[in-house]
Structure 1
Amino acid sequence: MASVKIKFQPDRPNGGKGANVCGDEEGHIVLTVTHNSLSRSVATDYRVYSSEWDRRVSRFIVPADSSRLKLIGNYREELRRDVGRLRRIIISMENRDMDFSADDVVEAFRMFVVDYSLRAFMTHQIEFLKERGRLRTAETYSSALRSFMRFRRGRDLLLDCLTQEMVMRYESYLRSRGLTPNSTSFYMRILRAVYNRAVEQGGVPQEMPFRKVYTGVERTRKRALTLTDIRRILRLDFRSSPSLDYARDMFMLSFYMRGMSLIDMAHLKKADLEDGHITYRRRKTGQCLCVAWTQEMQYISDKYNLATSPYLLPLISPGSKNTRVAYRNVAYRINRSLKIIGAMIGYGSPLTLY
């Protein structure tokens, strides 16, 4: 069975940084993997003095210099993780009945920082989702990754360093930016799913870092638009603002179509309109629905009709190479304009189309 040992290795006389004021020898910590009588070492960046290391039990000693307490504490935690990684790699290889060597263990340990950094691992999951055609889920994973990297100010980290304390600080960061509990939960659930996937692969131990943050879904009170609100939206004069006029038209069209979602509206084809009815299949559920076509709908359709387009509405340009990206961009512009319109009529919640 392979083993892992920790040693203090003094610097060479001409290669070290010298001793401290107490005359202690300076050196660094080395991890040694032994298997089948062959040993291989992994040097670390943990530089300590001989007085800060107990050679008998291979562990740190509280330093006499109080200014080094935090540094030694960090070293202790990082070394614990390093040893844990090596032991998980060894157990994984042994469980798979692999014919492995100490070199294989050391190489796998060095690759861990590549395979299990949060950015690299999550990017791999995003690409996997795209390959399976789950584009919307891939977009939400990308959004969560960007959010967490902003919290980290661009600094990546290994997944086994995702502690309960860090996750709680991330939740506080999100709330400080005005996000609701449901919104913070959205990011937490995605990160938890990524973390659990790494646990399933055996690369990360399950330490339950998300147990003290909110990951549920609260029911939100729906505030319905009144008929008065609808009339006020219709009466707004947007002749000098084509973008607001366009957003208002798409909103009203959704209203006329019994609350049809924006993504279903975007993919309506002219062929879907027949005998005074629109027949379509919901992209979210696959349910087939039929809606009567009215004069109000025809007016908006004629206003934006493009003869060369197969689409009934002007939400996706016929020449778009990536319809998903084209829809996402136009949906963003519409909802941004709808928030302005909602504020103009004094509506208490953001006016949006989904």
Structure 2
Amino acid sequence: MNRNEITLQKMFSIIIEELRENSRWGTAHIYQATSNAFSAFVNNQPLPLRKLNSALLKRFENHLRQRNCSWNTVSTYIKAIRSTYNCAVDMKYARYVPRLFEHVYTGTRADRKKALETSDISYLVREAEIGIRETNYLSENQKTRIFFVLMFMLRGIPFVDLAYLHKRDLQGNVLSYRRRKTGRALTVMLTPEVMQLIRMVADRNQDSPYLFPILQSEEGSEAAYREYQSALRSFNRRLSALKQSIGMKSALSTYAARHTWATMAYYCEIHPGIISEAMGHSSIAVTETYLKPFSNKKIDEANRIVISFVKSGGYLV
């Protein structure tokens, strides 16, 4: 292929196809979203890689910000373009330009607080405990509340890891799994309360390998990834409805469960390295970027139950 003819969009297509062939559906989704956003920016006109320059990248950054994209979204898109450009350079499709991405944002920011107030998470935990006694029937609201509290109690487990948990991952009161984002093996010892909540919402279909009734298709398949995306959107919608129904001020989302545990763990002086592993961050410094602005040193006696869950259990070496 002539290096003067290769376009950024074509390189995206090459990489996305390779990612899909390797069943990396989530990463392929990010690259496709970046390609779509950039194509919209250039009015769907092909952009030869030789025309990619600092000024154009800066205009794309401004374009994203004008459309209310967060700085972290901007960073994700810019880094996807940088990775695609570097791949083209490695394949001899493009000439290397030093400091091409120097003046666009590729960092991490804590734009807004994602963690719940301690009073909010305490309320949800108490409500989930009440639900333990109502074993005959669980409403959608109750199931949503239980899954959210489980994500918090399982040390901020991401929804994607929750969805892909297998029955074999739970042995007694020990849950062992690999983070899908980092591949890191994690093991969590579960409290009796967590075990009760798991039993309430576990998949009772003996033919299903999954611990929870979120996915049906074979792991690693595109169908399973699409089921996960659909389940994630549905769960966030139910969380939004739950927030409205109980009049909660904090934003309620799958991210909130993770950041609430991490923020409270940071308050409880759990080692930042453990928190960083659980969050899937590249370094402790990134974790502290997220948590330091929002660490809360004020806590009342009503929230002691939440603190006990944060401190209980742990990753086994």
| Aligned counterparts of 2:199 and 2:117: Cα–Cα separation in 1 | 25
Over 3 Å counting, the alpha-carbon distance change for 1:150 and 1:303 in structure 2 is: same
Which residue in 1 is equivalent to 2:179?
A: 282
Which residue in 1 is equivalent to 2:144?
A: 247
Question: Given the alignment of the two structures, is residue 230 of structure 1 paired with residue 121 of structure 2, yes or no?
Answer: yes
Deviation of 1:117 after TM superposition, in Å, equals 1.8
Higher helix proportion, which one? 2
Which residue in 2 is equivalent to 1:266?
A: 163
Q: Could you give the per-residue CA deviations for residues 86-113 of structure 1, whole angstroms, max 9, x where no partner exists? A: xxxxxxxxxxxxxxxxxxxxxx65x853
Q: Could you give the per-residue CA deviations for residues 203-237 of structure 1, whole angstroms, max 9, x where no partner exists? A: 3233454332222223567654344202434659x
Q: Could you give the per-residue CA deviations for residues 324-351 of structure 1, whole angstroms, max 9, x where no partner exists? A: 3322321232234334545641015866
Over 3 Å counting, the alpha-carbon distance change for 1:129 and 1:341 in structure 2 is: same
Q: Which runs of 4+ in 1 moved over 6 A?
A: none
Match of 2:9 among 108, 119, 126: 119
Secondary structure of the equivalent of 2:157? coil
Please list, as runs of the form range in 1=range in 2, the aligned pairs for 1:112-191 lying within 5 A after superposition: 112-113=4-5, 116-191=6-81
| Aligned counterparts of 1:244 and 1:162: Cα–Cα separation in 2 | 49
Secondary structure of the equivalent of 1:298? helix
Secondary structure of the equivalent of 2:216? coil
Over 3 Å counting, the alpha-carbon distance change for 1:288 and 1:165 in structure 2 is: closer
2:174 touches 2:187 (CA, 8 Å); kept in 1? no
Secondary structure of the equivalent of 2:205? coil
Secondary structure of the equivalent of 1:280? strand
| Aligned counterparts of 1:171 and 1:243: Cα–Cα separation in 2 | 40
Over 3 Å counting, the alpha-carbon distance change for 1:131 and 1:294 in structure 2 is: same
Which residue in 2 is equivalent to 1:7?
A: none
How many percent identity over aligned positions? 28
Please list, as runs of the form range in 1=range in 2, the aligned pairs for 1:100-115 lying within 5 A after superposition: 112-113=4-5
1:185 touches 1:216 (CA, 8 Å); kept in 2? yes
Over 3 Å counting, the alpha-carbon distance change for 1:256 and 1:219 in structure 2 is: closer
Match of 2:192 among 274, 279, 294: 294
Which residue in 1 is equivalent to 2:250?
A: 347
2:243 touches 2:252 (CA, 8 Å); kept in 1? yes
| Aligned counterparts of 1:299 and 1:216: Cα–Cα separation in 2 | 38
Deviation of 1:295 after TM superposition, in Å, equals 3.9
Deviation of 1:281 after TM superposition, in Å, equals 3.6
Q: Could you give the per-residue CA deviations for residues 43-102 of structure 1, whole angstroms, max 9, x where no partner exists? A: xxxxxxxxxxxxxxxxxxxxxxxxxxxxxxxxxxxxxxxxxxxxxxxxxxxxxxxxxxxx
* Structure 1: gaps spanning 5 or more residues: 1-107
How many residues get paired?
242
2:141 touches 2:242 (CA, 8 Å); kept in 1? yes
Which residue in 2 is equivalent to 1:70?
A: none
Deviation of 1:202 after TM superposition, in Å, equals 3.1
Match of 1:305 among 200, 203, 208: 203
Letter of the 1:168 counterpart: K
Letter of the 1:328 counterpart: Q
| Aligned counterparts of 2:201 and 2:238: Cα–Cα separation in 1 | 19
1:167 touches 1:213 (CA, 8 Å); kept in 2? yes
Deviation of 1:279 after TM superposition, in Å, equals 3.3
Over 3 Å counting, the alpha-carbon distance change for 1:289 and 1:232 in structure 2 is: same
- TM-score (structure 2 length as normaliser): 0.64
| Aligned counterparts of 2:44 and 2:68: Cα–Cα separation in 1 | 21
| Aligned counterparts of 1:159 and 1:232: Cα–Cα separation in 2 | 53
| Aligned counterparts of 1:145 and 1:345: Cα–Cα separation in 2 | 37
Letter of the 1:346 counterpart: K
Over 3 Å counting, the alpha-carbon distance change for 1:340 and 1:163 in structure 2 is: farther
2:158 touches 2:254 (CA, 8 Å); kept in 1? no
Q: Could you give the per-residue CA deviations for residues 149-193 of structure 1, whole angstroms, max 9, x where no partner exists? A: 222333322222223332222111110111222221111111122
Q: Looking at both structures, which has the greater relative contact order when contacts are Cα pairs under 8 Å and sequence separation is at least 6?
A: 2
* Structure 2: gaps spanning 5 or more residues: 129-137, 259-317
Over 3 Å counting, the alpha-carbon distance change for 1:229 and 1:173 in structure 2 is: same
Over 3 Å counting, the alpha-carbon distance change for 1:319 and 1:155 in structure 2 is: same
Match of 2:96 among 178, 194, 206: 206
| Aligned counterparts of 2:237 and 2:100: Cα–Cα separation in 1 | 35
Higher strand proportion, which one? 1
Q: Larger C-alpha radius of gyration, 1 or 2?
A: 1
Match of 2:231 among 311, 327, 330: 330
Deviation of 1:251 after TM superposition, in Å, equals 0.8
| Aligned counterparts of 1:225 and 1:202: Cα–Cα separation in 2 | 48
